[in-house]
């Protein structure tokens, strides 16, 4: 049975629960520990055997789950928004997630499988420590370790993540701009379309088809990570950060933070100062 805590972080060994409505805003990080299983994701059939890992960013699109004989699994579900806020804007996550959308299965060695299970168990063993004064930071640190291990596993066998056709080129160039920090000051889809010499509709349709996520979401996720970095580690005032990030007004920056971080920048800094 899954253990639930604030932020909906959960550990479970029940494969048939991975598409539960509880996890619709979460990313599933799953390992098959024995036997085999299969499921459909975006209506494509995938199979797993012992030591295979799956990263499923849209569990609501998982169907036809079929555990094989003697199948065993373990997984952590964590909110997508929480995970995005843990990682810096310039990282392997963006293009890695594009590839994992196409094929969520990662083949790993026995040693890496054991390392991943250790990551899962470290999270599982601390989930209930909600009286820890730095609980959110503690869980964030453990999740971050797991995610970076996943990046390492995936990168070992995915040196060339995107294809070389036009769709691959457009997608690759778009994420190069995102990784380069462009969302710090440019958050309009039209800007990226103009830079790539395509229409905004073509760019939107392409990115949505390849990643399952809208262009605006990718842009705003990166901009949110940059804003968080400023708010956490900069001595700049909130007004100065808004200017630095090219927001038209302080109130617009505040609304952006409320929507994507969950609170105003002033409240975020005040909450951080109290910890």
The answer on pLDDT for 37 being more than 70 is yes
The answer on pLDDT for 84 being more than 80 is no
Q: How confident is the model at residue 109 (pLDDT cuts 50, 70, 90)?
A: very high
Tell me the backbone φ, ψ of residue 94, rounded to 5 degrees: -65, -60
Distance CA 99, CA 155 (A): 10
Predicted local distance difference test score (pLDDT) of residue 210: 76
- Over range 96-108, report the average pLDDT: 74
**CB neighbourhood size of 184 (10 A):** 18
pLDDT by residue (tens digit) across 220-265? 988 998 999 899 888 899 999 999 999 999 999 999 999 998 899 9
Tokens standing for 8? 């909906």
Q: How confident is the model at residue 165 (pLDDT cuts 50, 70, 90)?
A: low
Sheet holding 105-106, edge to edge: 3-4, 10-12, 72-79, 26-34, 53-56, 105-106
Largest CA-CA distance found in the chain, in angstroms, rounded: 59
Predicted local distance difference test score (pLDDT) of residue 138: 92
Tell me the backbone φ, ψ of residue 52, rounded to 5 degrees: -75, 140
Give strand pairing partners of 274.
Answer: none
**CB neighbourhood size of 153 (10 A):** 20
The answer on pLDDT for 2 being more than 50 is no
pLDDT by residue (tens digit) across 39-52? 998 778 999 999 99
Q: How confident is the model at residue 8 (pLDDT cuts 50, 70, 90)?
A: confident
37 sits in the region (left: phi over 0; alpha: psi -120 to 50; else beta) called beta
Provide, rounded to the nearest whole percent, the portion of the chain with pLDDT above 90: 52
SS3 readout for 40-70:
EECCEEEEEECCCEEEECCHHHEEEEEECCC
Tokens standing for 98? 């594009």
User: For residue 191, what is the enclosing H or E element?
Assistant: helix 189-196
The answer on pLDDT for 86 being more than 80 is no
Say whether 63 sits in a helix, a strand or coil.
strand
Distance CA 171, CA 160 (A): 13
Distance CA 221, CA 128 (A): 29
Q: How confident is the model at residue 5 (pLDDT cuts 50, 70, 90)?
A: very low
Provide, rounded to the nearest whole percent, the portion of the chain with pLDDT above 70: 87
Tokens standing for 95? 């293009």
Going along the chain from its start, the domains and CATH numbers come out as: 3-156 (2.60.120.280), 166-274 (1.10.10.60)
- Over range 198-215, report the average pLDDT: 87
Tokens standing for 230? 């400023």
């Amino acid at each position: 049975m899954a253990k639930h805590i604030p932020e909906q972080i959960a550990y479970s060994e029940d494969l048939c629960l991975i598409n539960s409505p509880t996890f619709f805003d979460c990313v599933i990080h799953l390992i098959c520990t024995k036997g085999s299983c299969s499921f459909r994701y975006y209506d494509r059939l995938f199979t797993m055997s012992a030591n295979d890992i799956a990263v499923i960013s849209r569990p609501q699109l998982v169907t036809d789950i079929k555990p094989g004989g003697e199948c065993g699994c373990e997984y952590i579900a964590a909110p997508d928004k929480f995970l995005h806020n843990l990682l810096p804007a310039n990282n392997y996550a963006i293009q890695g997630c594009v590839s994992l959308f196409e094929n969520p299965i990662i083949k790993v060695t026995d040693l890496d499988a054991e390392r991943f299970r250790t990551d899962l168990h470290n999270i599982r063993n601390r989930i209930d420590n909600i009286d820890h004064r730095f609980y959110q930071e503690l869980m964030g640190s453990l999740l971050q370790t797991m995610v970076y291990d996943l990046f390492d596993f995936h990168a070992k066998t995915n040196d060339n993540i995107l294809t070389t056709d036009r769709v691959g080129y457009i997608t690759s160039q778009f994420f190069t701009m995102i990784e380069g920090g462009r969302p710090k000051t440019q958050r309009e889809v039209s800007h990226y379309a103009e830079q790539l010499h395509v229409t905004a509709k073509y760019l939107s349709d392409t990115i949505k088809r390849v990643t399952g996520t809208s262009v605006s979401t990718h842009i705003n996720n990166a901009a949110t990570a940059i804003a968080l970095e400023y708010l956490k580690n900069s001595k700049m005032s909130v007004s100065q950060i808004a200017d630095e990030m090219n927001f038209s007004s302080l109130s617009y920056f505040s609304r952006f933070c409320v929507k994507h971080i969950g609170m105003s920048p002033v409240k975020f800094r005040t909450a951080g100062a109290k910890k």
